[in-house]
């Protein structure tokens, strides 16, 4: 039995791909699953073809012992247990957003390099929170007001000027406008997809108009649009995916301080990046398991197919075209269609890759379950610095929150709730709509609770978020509450303690 390179825990062990054996259950890759022919997340190794594809696309993977076959699992567990102490003693430096923490740098004393204290990041707080759930910490971390982004760290184009946007409008005032904007955008994208599929011409005027309208809603209140985008629909159609990516991109651009014209361009990138998939066979997009090399080549062509179809009927801004063309490129050169790496990927392409991946991870697909949003953010963190620009991932977390608006959560008193609005000072203590009693029975009258006010349970313990949940957990669909006409309220009289 080969010795694993590193153990994440006794449940999951990291293996170099040349150490893999049949019967191992591959739970995680060193890159997004969507960047490989394995569209189905999670794989029990059975064939030489599967091993070949893993070795072609990955350097290492994580094997889930509990889901591996019996003899292999026992052998892995023995090795992991025997070597856990040695691995802990020889733990490698931890990278935060592609950089070594100062205390982990291997530099001689007196080297002259300024040693700064560790910079707290959203993922630092998220990791601490997750540790708290596991019993490694005693307190839930309290985050603070988002930091101003550093243009140099974000590697922005020369001459880029960032701006500050005013405080968001109250969410209850903005939800109706956001809903109308979302509906218009969805209708326009549906028509565009149908036109491209049938070979009819499409006009950029309509797309520009809905993108500007969408951005107007996001500038006014990002939480309102994120609420609508999350709650309104979890449809797998390409145009709905594109609309969610557009919302995430515009919210990210607003967080970073991009001018409004840039936010409109980013929205167009999100809306149009995957329209080429409407030109591919649907059975190929829905195929479970590993794609053959020929099938994977066809799927990767959707970027150029879509851009080619759009160019026949509209003239796009060169920056929008670049963002569409590069949204599957990755920093380490493993992406497509051109295999670009590092600074050769433009800012729009780097931002779009993050938003597109997050939208895919949190959406139910024919071949994969949706992840809870904070689980998807943790995945992005793992890939930051290799696949994605680390500083941009950090800004993305700041833009949508560790628990995005519209996310199902379980509270520490076992109630299930939906996050309805973030508190700007304490992003881990949002306002929530409580949907069930502690026994998970749906309430006849859901009510709001502001976790920032310090509510306590029947034992006098503070009520906090215990964990995030994927949509559909405990049979609860957030969109059902949207359909009942609920809109978040900013009226303190409606917030229960």
Please, what are the domains in the chain? 6-89 (no CATH), 171-400 (1.10.3210.10), 408-496 (no CATH)
Which structure tokens are listed for 101? 């923490």
CA distance linking residue 13 with residue 5, whole number of Å: 8
What stretch of H or E contains 154?
helix 151-154
Which structure tokens are listed for 404? 């995005």
Q: Which residue has the higher pLDDT, 201 or 340?
A: 340
Residue 252: asked if its preceding bond is cis (omega within 30°), the reply is no
Average pLDDT over residues 436-464: 93
pTM over cut 0.85: no
Residues 6+ apart with CB under 8 A from 91: none
Average pLDDT over residues 321-340: 96
Indicate whether 173 pLDDT > 50: yes
Q: Which residue has the higher pLDDT, 193 or 395?
A: 395
Q: Which of 393, 362, 365, 381 is nearest to 469 (CA)?
A: 362
Q: What digits encode the pLDDT tens for the residues 294-315?
A: 999 999 999 999 999 888 888 8
In the chain, % of residues over pLDDT 90: 37
pLDDT band for 380, please (50, 70, 90 cuts). Answer: very high
Instruction: Tell me what the pLDDT averaged over the chain comes to.
Output: 79
CA distance linking residue 50 with residue 43, whole number of Å: 9
Q: Please say whether the dihedral angle defined by the alpha carbons of residues 80, 85, 88 and 89, taken in this order, is positive or negative.
A: negative
Please, are residues 151 and 160 in contact by the beta-carbon 8 Å criterion? yes
Which structure tokens are listed for 316? 């796009």
Neighbour tally for 188: CB within 10 Å: 21
Indicate whether 144 pLDDT > 50: no
What stretch of H or E contains 100?
strand 99-100
- Give 420-425 contacts, CB < 8 A, sequence gap 24+: 420/171, 420/227, 420/448, 420/488, 421/171, 421/223, 421/227, 421/488, 421/490, 422/223, 423/450, 423/451, 423/452, 424/145, 424/167, 425/144, 425/145, 425/452
CA distance linking residue 192 with residue 434, whole number of Å: 38
Q: What digits encode the pLDDT tens for the residues 98-134?
A: 333 333 333 333 333 333 344 444 445 455 544 444 3
pLDDT band for 190, please (50, 70, 90 cuts). Answer: confident
3-state DSSP assignment of residue 127: helix
């Amino acid at each position: 039995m080969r010795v694993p390179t590193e153990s994440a825990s006794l449940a999951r062990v990291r293996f170099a791909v040349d150490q893999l054996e049949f019967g191992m259950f591959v739970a995680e890759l060193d890159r997004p699953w969507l960047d490989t022919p394995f569209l189905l997340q999670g794989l029990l190794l059975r064939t030489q073809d599967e091993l070949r594809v893993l070795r072609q696309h990955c350097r290492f993977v994580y094997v889930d012992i509990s889901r591996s076959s019996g003899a292999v699992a026992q052998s892995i567990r023995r090795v992991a247990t025997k070597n856990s102490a040695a691995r802990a003693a020889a733990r490698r430096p931890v990278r935060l957003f592609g950089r070594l923490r100062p205390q982990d740098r291997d530099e001689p004393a007196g080297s002259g390099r300024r040693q700064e204290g560790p910079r707290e990041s959203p993922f630092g707080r998220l990791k601490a929170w997750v540790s708290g759930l596991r019993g490694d910490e005693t307190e839930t971390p309290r985050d603070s007001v988002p930091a101003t982004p550093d243009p140099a760290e974000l590697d922005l184009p020369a001459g880029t000027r960032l701006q500050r946007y005013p405080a968001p409008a109250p969410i209850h005032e903005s939800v109706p406008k956001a809903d109308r904007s979302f509906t218009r955008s969805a209708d326009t994208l549906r028509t565009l997809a149908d036109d491209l599929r049938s070979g009819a011409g499409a006009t950029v005027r309509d797309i520009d108009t809905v993108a500007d309208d969408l951005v107007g809603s996001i500038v006014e209140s990002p939480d309102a649009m994120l609420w609508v985008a999350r709650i309104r629909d979890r449809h797998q159609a390409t145009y709905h995916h594109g609309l969610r990516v557009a919302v995430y991109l515009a919210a990210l651009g607003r967080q970073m301080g991009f001018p409004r014209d840039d936010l409109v361009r980013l929205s167009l990138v999100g809306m149009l990046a995957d329209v080429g998939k409407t030109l591919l066979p649907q059975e190929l997009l829905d195929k479970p398991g590993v794609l053959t090399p020929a099938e994977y080549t066809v799927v990767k062509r959707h970027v150029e197919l879509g851009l080619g179809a759009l160019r026949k009927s509209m003239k796009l801004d060169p920056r929008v075209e670049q963002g569409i063309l590069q949204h599957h490129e990755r920093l380490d050169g493993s992406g497509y269609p051109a295999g670009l790496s590092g600074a050769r990927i433009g800012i729009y392409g780097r931002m779009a890759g993050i938003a597109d991946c997050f939208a895919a991870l949190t959406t139910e697909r024919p071949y994969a379950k949706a992840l809870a949003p904070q689980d998807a953010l943790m995945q992005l963190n793992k890939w930051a610095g290799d696949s994605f620009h680390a500083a941009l991932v950090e800004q993305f977390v700041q833009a949508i929150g560790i628990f995005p608006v519209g996310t199902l959560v379980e509270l520490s008193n076992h109630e299930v709730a939906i996050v309805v609005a973030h508190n700007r000072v304490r992003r881990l203590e949002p306002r929530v709509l409580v949907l069930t009693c502690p026994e998970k029975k749906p309430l006849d009258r859901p009510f709001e609770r502001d976790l920032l006010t310090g509510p306590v349970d029947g034992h006098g313990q503070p009520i906090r978020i215990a964990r995030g949940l994927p949509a559909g957990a405990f049979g609860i669909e957030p969109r059902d509450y949207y359909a009942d006409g609920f809109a978040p309220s900013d009226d303190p009289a409606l917030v229960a303690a």
